[in-house]
Amino acid sequence: MTGERRATSDLWWKNAIIYCLDIETFFDTDADGCGDILGLTERIDYLAGLGVTCIWLMPCFPSPQRDDGYDITDYYNIDPKLGTLGDFVEMLRTAQDRGIRVLVDLVVNHTSNQHPWFQSARKGRDALYHDYYVWEDHKPEEDLSDLIFPGEENTSWDWDAQARQWYLHRFYAEQPDLNTANSAVRDEIAKIGAFWLALGLAGYRLDAVPYLLEETNRPGSDGKDPHALLRELRAFLVRRRGDAVLLGEVNLPPEQTRQYFGNGNDELTMIFNFRINQYIYLSLARQDAGPLAHALATQPAIPVECQWTNFVRNHDELTLDKLTPGERREVFAAFGPDERMQIYDRGIRRRLPSMLDSNQDRIRLTYALMFSLPGTPTLFYGEEIGMTENLDIPGRYSVRTPMQWSPEPHAGFSTAPDGARLCRPLADDHSANVAEQRREPDSLLNWMERLIRMRKECPEFGWGAFEQISSEGPVFAHRCDWNGNTVIAVHNLSDRSASQVLPRSDAWAKLVDLFGDEDCAPGDEIELKPYGYRWLRAQLQVIEG
């Protein structure tokens, strides 16, 4: 059965609405200043009302918090400050009842250095878990340009005095890399995945996938194709839950990224489209559709059961590493001109409203554009109300401030006493909040809910064949065709009015305006206000007799 004939619900990820959140910063129910699982459970109805169909949770496992929970000490439990396993299972049941699937970060390229495996591994070469990690007797040569956190770490190898060897850490020194060339480590990864699926998860966001495979190429590996790890993991998880997904973080050039989908749906199910994300910002900076159009035109075809995942912002910095140095400077100048707004010489640590000077028309244009691109849209918590950041918080944490629910103290995130210390400071401007925007008919929240509803009613964007209509000047226009239906999206990226001629077809009676009442005829030339956008559905001619 081909993808076009298949019901849209068969491959649920093709038309999902994903919402990323950190339990710790979402909603606090016990007034300790830290969000908790009960708080998330209480707010699931809010997410269901917004139209979210899949929640992606950042790590919620026990952790010393050197890297915001990505340094894990126990893969089979919940961080006590967030709740219990019982709380977690109840949250999953509530989400399932509201038609929402849940993914969790699977962070298995490294552990915390406090993990029992590493503490055992340090005892010597014959220790039970020594080969779970990557060790060298002499520090290897390294290319410092490959450092993931330049300025924070100056090497990827650290000396362990107890083991009397060097260990690899591609991230922080407190996060020793697991040796995924070791079949015992791969078995552990599969067991971890199976455990949480049994509790009700729908799959995982797989962290830093290229680094996960890196060790299979090292001396002493079992000689397997590095991608065999992904194929084995995918096959194992699908045996446990047939509709389980692996959503991968892969930020590589197009053809290399394509390899991580495998042959059909046998490796990653979805991959974040970092390259398209970066070219969106270059097109916004230039007010020119050309860069985005070129990036989409040179994007490799992917298996029908797989999917790109699109986003405007995520929980890390806005990385611009796939742009040329000159292009990166353009985006910095437009959206992060102050060095304080930049990080690692490659990214911006601001949220979208700040970058766009709170211009509501431009903010909405950007989300309308992202939601219409071929793939599955993902939101980072607070985007629906236009949350900003706090640049006083170091590094990439600047955008991970507490969710803003109301104008009450602590932005309604917590009922902790005034002056109490929260798990993280609020955004500098925390005036945007859910309670007030719910009451404003034209608020960003109500607009976002409508955008999500419309996107769910346009499966063509998730399933259809993509074709660009306009790829030069300020207007980016495209169409998606699926199962005999067509949706056209037109976006003006500039601060001046623009026009666009719509496609012709004798089969179409008219083009129905999905956000307004200005229907069009095929072949019409439409006018777009500055930062204007139109979504149009082709209505077929009725043939009598």
Q: Which residues are designated catalytic?
A: 207, 249
Give Cα 422 to chain centroid, integer Å: 25
Distances (CA, A) of 200 to 96, 142, 531: 9, 42, 42
Cα-based angle 417, 422, 426 (whole degrees, multiple of 5): 110
Residue 517 CB neighbour total at 10 angstroms = 6
Residue 112 CB partners (closer than 8 Å, separation 6+): 63, 64, 66, 71, 72, 73, 118, 174, 175
The C-alpha atoms of residue 286 and residue 473 are separated, in whole angstroms, by: 10
> Cα-atom radius of gyration of the chain, to the nearest Å?
24
246 beta partners? 204
Alpha helices in 349-423 (DSSP H): 352-355, 360-372
The C-alpha atoms of residue 534 and residue 538 are separated, in whole angstroms, by: 13
Distances (CA, A) of 401 to 10, 382, 393, 429, 504: 36, 9, 9, 11, 48
The per-residue b/e assignment along 462-472, b for 16 or more CB within 10 angstroms, e otherwise, is bbbebeebbbe
Between the two ends of the chain, the Cα-to-Cα distance in Å is 32
The C-alpha atoms of residue 26 and residue 55 are separated, in whole angstroms, by: 12
Nearest in space to 509 (alpha carbons), one of 466, 478, 540: 540
Look up residue 389 and give its two tokens.
Answer: 């950041």
Nearest in space to 383 (alpha carbons), one of 97, 9, 94, 20: 20
The per-residue b/e assignment along 369-402, b for 16 or more CB within 10 angstroms, e otherwise, is bbbbbbbbbbbbbbbbbbbbbbbebeebbbbbbb
Look up residue 87 and give its two tokens.
Answer: 């709380």
Token match 């400050």: residue? 81
The C-alpha atoms of residue 83 and residue 102 are separated, in whole angstroms, by: 17
Say how many CA atoms lie within 13 Å of 89 toward its Cβ.
10
